[in-house]
Chain A
Amino acid sequence: MDLVLVIVVEVLYAIGALVLISAGLAVIFGMMRVINLAHGEFMMLGGYATITAVDLGVNVFLAMLVLAPAVVGVLGLAVERLVIRHLYGRLIDTMLATWGLSLLFIGIVTMLFGNTTTGISTPIPGFALGDYQVNGYNFFIVLVAAVLLLLMLAVLRSTRSGLIARGTMQHSHMAASLGYNPDRIYMLTFACGSALSGLAGAVLAPLVGLVPTSGGAYIAKAFITVIAGGPALIAGLASSAGVFGLINQIFSFAVSPVVGEVALLVAAVILLRLLPRGITDRLFRESL
Chain B
Amino acid sequence: MRDAGWGRELTGTLVVAACAVGVLPMLVSTYTLTVLIIYGMLGLSLGLVWGFGGILCFGQAAFFGLGAYTYAIAAINFGESTVPMLLAVAVPAGFAAVLGAMLFYGRLTDVYLGVITLVVTLILHRFMNATAGSEYVIGNARLGGFNGIPGFQTLNVPGDPSAYVWGESFYYFSAVCLLLAYLLVSAVLRSSFGRIAVGIRENETRAALMGYDVPARKTVMFAAGAAIAGLAGALFANWAEIVTPRLFSLSQSADIIIWCIVGGLGTRIGPVLGAAGLSYLKFLLGQQDLLHNSVVSGAILVLFVLFLPGGIAPVLANAWRLVTRRRPRSRYRRPRGPRSSLASGDA
When the two chains form their complex, are residues A99 and B257 in contact, meaning their CB atoms are under 8 A apart? Answer: yes
Segment at the interface with B among A15-23, A59-67, A88-96, A197-205: A88-96
Enumerate chain A residues within 8 angstroms of B102, measured Cβ to Cβ. Answer: 273
When the two chains form their complex, are residues B294 and A265 in contact, meaning their CB atoms are under 8 A apart? Answer: no
When the two chains form their complex, are residues B115 and A224 in contact, meaning their CB atoms are under 8 A apart? Answer: yes
Is B296 among interface residues, defined by CB-CB distance under 8 A? Answer: yes
Report the minimum CB–CB distance from A229 to chain B (whole Å).
13
Report the minimum CB–CB distance from A92 to chain B (whole Å).
6
Enumerate chain A residues within 8 angstroms of B114, measured Cβ to Cβ. Answer: 35, 95
When the two chains form their complex, are residues A276 and B292 in contact, meaning their CB atoms are under 8 A apart? Answer: no
CA distance A101 to B302 in the complex (A): 7
Interface residues in A92-146 (C-beta closer than 8 Å to B): 92-93, 95-97, 99-108, 110-111
Interface residues in A208-254 (C-beta closer than 8 Å to B): 216, 219-220, 223-224, 227
When the two chains form their complex, are residues A99 and B295 in contact, meaning their CB atoms are under 8 A apart? Answer: no
When the two chains form their complex, are residues B257 and A96 in contact, meaning their CB atoms are under 8 A apart? Answer: yes
Chain A 246-288 against B: per-residue CB contact (8 Å), 1 yes, 0 no?
A: 0000000000001001100110110011001000000000000
When the two chains form their complex, are residues B292 and A269 in contact, meaning their CB atoms are under 8 A apart? Answer: no
Q: A97-B301, A269-B119 are in contact. Are A86 and B112 (CB under 8 A)?
A: no
Interface residues in A46-101 (C-beta closer than 8 Å to B): 83, 86-87, 91-93, 95-97, 99-101
Enumerate chain B residues within 8 angstroms of A96, measured Cβ to Cβ. Answer: 257, 261, 301, 305
Enumerate chain A residues within 8 angstroms of B107, measured Cβ to Cβ. Answer: 276
Give the secondary structure class of B's interface.
Answer: helix
Q: A266-B123, A269-B116 are in contact. Are A97 and B293 (CB under 8 A)?
A: no
Q: Which residue of B lies closest to A41 (CB)?
A: B298
Q: Which residue of B lies closest to A109 (CB)?
A: B292
When the two chains form their complex, are residues A91 and B297 in contact, meaning their CB atoms are under 8 A apart? Answer: no
Give the secondary structure class of A's interface.
Answer: helix
Chain B 273-311 against A: per-residue CB contact (8 Å), 1 yes, 0 no?
A: 000000000000000000111111111111101100100
Is B106 among interface residues, defined by CB-CB distance under 8 A? Answer: yes
Query: What total of A-B pairs shows CB separation below 8 Å?
Result: 108
Report the minimum CB–CB distance from A36 to chain B (whole Å).
12
Residue from the set A96, A224, A272 with the largest chain B CB neighbour count within 10 Å? A96
Report the minimum CB–CB distance from A4 to chain B (whole Å).
28
Q: Which residue of A lies closest to B50 (CB)?
A: A92
Q: Which residue of A lies closest to B103 (CB)?
A: A273
When the two chains form their complex, are residues B302 and A262 in contact, meaning their CB atoms are under 8 A apart? Answer: no
When the two chains form their complex, are residues A276 and B108 in contact, meaning their CB atoms are under 8 A apart? Answer: yes
Is B250 among interface residues, defined by CB-CB distance under 8 A? Answer: yes
Q: A91-B110, A97-B305 are in contact. Are A104 and B294 (CB under 8 A)?
A: yes
When the two chains form their complex, are residues B106 and A273 in contact, meaning their CB atoms are under 8 A apart? Answer: yes
CA distance A163 to B295 in the complex (A): 39
Report the minimum CB–CB distance from A232 to chain B (whole Å).
17
Q: Which of A92, A107, A273 contacts B296 (CB 8 A)?
A: A107
Report the minimum CB–CB distance from A219 to chain B (whole Å).
8
Enumerate chain B residues within 8 angstroms of A220, measured Cβ to Cβ. Answer: 115, 118-119, 122
Q: Which residue of B lies closest to A86 (CB)?
A: B306
Enumerate chain A residues within 8 angstroms of B261, measured Cβ to Cβ. Answer: 96
Enumerate chain A residues within 8 angstroms of B115, measured Cβ to Cβ. Answer: 220, 223-224, 227, 272
When the two chains form their complex, are residues A107 and B293 in contact, meaning their CB atoms are under 8 A apart? Answer: yes
CA distance A80 to B106 in the complex (A): 34
Report the minimum CB–CB distance from A3 to chain B (whole Å).
25
When the two chains form their complex, are residues B302 and A97 in contact, meaning their CB atoms are under 8 A apart? Answer: yes
When the two chains form their complex, are residues A276 and B119 in contact, meaning their CB atoms are under 8 A apart? Answer: no
Q: A92-B56, A96-B261, A262-B126 are in contact. Are A106 and B112 (CB under 8 A)?
A: no
Report the minimum CB–CB distance from B125 to chain A (whole Å).
10
5 further A-B pairs in the complex, CB-CB below 8 A; given A83-B306, A224-B119: A83-B302, A95-B114, A103-B297, A103-B301, A265-B126
Q: Provide a sorted-by-A list of 18 A–B residue pairs whose CB atoms are within 8 angstroms.
A: A95-B111, A96-B257, A96-B301, A97-B302, A99-B254, A99-B257, A100-B258, A100-B299, A103-B297, A104-B299, A105-B298, A107-B294, A108-B295, A111-B295, A220-B115, A258-B130, A262-B123, A272-B116
| Among all A-B residue pairs, the 7 with the closest Cβ atoms | A100-B301, A103-B298, A107-B295, A104-B298, A100-B302, A107-B292, A107-B294
